[in-house]
């Protein structure tokens, strides 16, 4: 009974705003494996309240967070024998949404009208993924993080959150020009600009920018990171529907990959599951303590701006977007997202188009 409505909410684009997209048929991380224990866990995906719980065999289940009986949130109840029991009348549901008990009722509990709305789930690499369209079994699997178990690599994971749209966060994460300005001093500065080449490769489900000729870190830092010398390679990548990936390679010795799998909680609230994998010529126990505070500092500067951006869009009731070619990835990301919103499934892989531009860094 409730299913068509939830689906509608999950796919309808809000009125008049260009950059807010609701993506059907996509996998998103809803929690980490360790967050989902014996109690039901209330989460939100693209504005739809969900409840996660574990079946008797430990597999995660996800239902719309309201009992089909009387609209009480199922997350208020508890898990009994791998079934989720509503706290009001005690109706029970399995991970397929099937009603399995109706206390007091002498008939059979299983009836189509009494089903809860269910969502496909996967648990892998320490994350619980949920499929954004309810009631269907997906034909593709969630994203896998690169280099997680590669020899010589270390991993740092963090969960972040900002009051911005999925698109705003994706663009921000993969945007170069704001770094020297907003994060000025930290890893790029406004002074001493030089011109570099940017190669942009656009595919059916991704877009990538390669920065060529970017200066290497100077002095001691450069020598520490690349004792054998070599050039700096830098890629910014967007992978449908919500992965932002920044890759740095410095000579043969230094390699760092920051992969951010984002989850649109609501239109203006986005969770970021960040996985940093790296191989550096310095002892990793020495590096690791620095990664989180530096990343958090940068992220907090961005989060503050993104929140003000959201606030401004709300106050004006409209959006303004004027781009130049150094807004390298943002417009392409939005095009891919809006296409996915319309088609509801990602298109067949097409050939990659390559373009070039100049940027001052």
User: Interface residues with a second copy (CB under 8 A)?
Assistant: 1-2, 5-6, 9, 48-49, 64-73, 76, 87-90, 102-107, 111, 113-114, 168, 176-178, 180-182, 190, 195, 305, 308-309, 311-313, 315-327, 358-361
From the CB of 10, what's the least distance to a second copy, in Å?
Answer: 11
Tokens of 314: 């709300």
**Whole-number minimum distance, CB 313 to a second copy, in Å?**
5
Shortest Cβ 334–a second copy spacing (Å): 12
CB closer to a second copy, 141 vs 311 = 311
The tokens for 309 are 């951006």
**40 and 163 Cβ atoms separated by less than 8 Å:** no
CB neighbour list of residue 244: distance below 8 Å, 6 or more residues apart: 169, 170, 173, 174, 236, 237, 238, 259, 260, 262
Helix (H) or strand (E) holding 343: helix 330-343
Backbone angles phi, psi at 137, to 5 degrees: -95, 120
Phi, psi of 212 (to 5 degrees): -115, 125
Q: How far is the CB of 358 from a second copy (least distance, A)?
A: 5
**Cβ nearer to a second copy, comparing 225 with 306:** 306
How crowded is the C-beta side of 155, counted as CA atoms within 13 Å?
Answer: 16
CB closer to a second copy, 1 vs 350: 1
Whose Cβ is closer to a second copy: residue 308's or residue 353's? 308
Of 67, 301, 259, residue with least CA distance to 153: 259
Q: Taking the complex as a whole, how short is the minimal distance between the CB of residue 257 and a second copy, in angstroms? A: 24
Residue closer to a second copy by CB (options 7, 341) is: 7
For residue 311, give both structure tokens: 């606030």
Which CB contacts under 8 angstroms, 24+ apart, belong to 72-77?
73/42, 73/49, 74/40, 74/116, 75/40, 75/41, 75/42, 75/51, 77/40
Nearer to a second copy, 176 or 232 (CB): 176
Minimum distance of a second copy from residue 41's CB (angstroms): 16
């Amino acid at each position: 009974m409730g299913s068509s409505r939830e689906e509608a909410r999950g796919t309808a684009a809000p009125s008049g705003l260009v950059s807010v997209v609701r993506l059907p048929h996509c996998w998103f991380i809803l929690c980490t494996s360790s967050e989902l224990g014996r109690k039901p866990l209330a989460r939100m995906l693209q504005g739809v309240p969900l409840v996660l719980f574990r079946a008797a065999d430990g597999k995660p289940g996800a239902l719309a967070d309201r009992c089909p009986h009387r609209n009480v949130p199922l997350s208020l109840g508890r898990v009994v024998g791998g079934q989720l029991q509503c706290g009001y009348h005690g109706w029970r549901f399995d991970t397929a949404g099937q009603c399995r008990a109706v206390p007091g009722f002498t008939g059979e509990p299983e009836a189509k009208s009494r089903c809860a709305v269910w969502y496909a789930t996967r648990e892998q690499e320490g994350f619980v993924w949920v499929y954004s369209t309810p009631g269907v079994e997906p034909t593709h699997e969630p994203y896998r993080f690169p280099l997680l178990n590669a020899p010589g690599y270390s991993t740092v994971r963090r969960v972040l959150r900002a009051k911005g749209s999925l698109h705003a966060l994706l663009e921000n994460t993969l945007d170069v020009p704001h770094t020297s300005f907003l994060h000025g001093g930290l890893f790029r500065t406004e002074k001493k600009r030089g011109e570099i080449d940017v190669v942009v490769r656009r595919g059916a489900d991704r877009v990538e920018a390669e920065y060529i000729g970017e200066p290497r870190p100077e002095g001691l830092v450069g020598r520490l990171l690349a004792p054998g010398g070599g050039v700096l390679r830098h890629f910014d990548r967007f992978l449908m529907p919500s992965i932002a990936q920044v890759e740095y390679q410095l000579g043969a010795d230094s390699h760092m990959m920051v992969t951010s799998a984002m989850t649109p909680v609501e239109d203006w609230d986005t969770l970021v599951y960040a996985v940093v994998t790296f191989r550096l010529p310095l002892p990793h126990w020495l590096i690791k303590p620095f990664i989180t505070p530096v990343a958090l500092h940068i992220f907090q500067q961005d989060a503050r701006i993104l929140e003000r951006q959201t606030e401004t869009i709300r106050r004006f009731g409209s959006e303004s977007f004027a781009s130049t070619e150094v807004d390298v990835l943002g417009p392409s990301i939005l095009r891919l997202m809006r296409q996915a919103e319309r088609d509801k499934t990602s298109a067949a892989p097409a050939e990659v188009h390559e373009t070039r531009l100049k940027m001052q860094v």
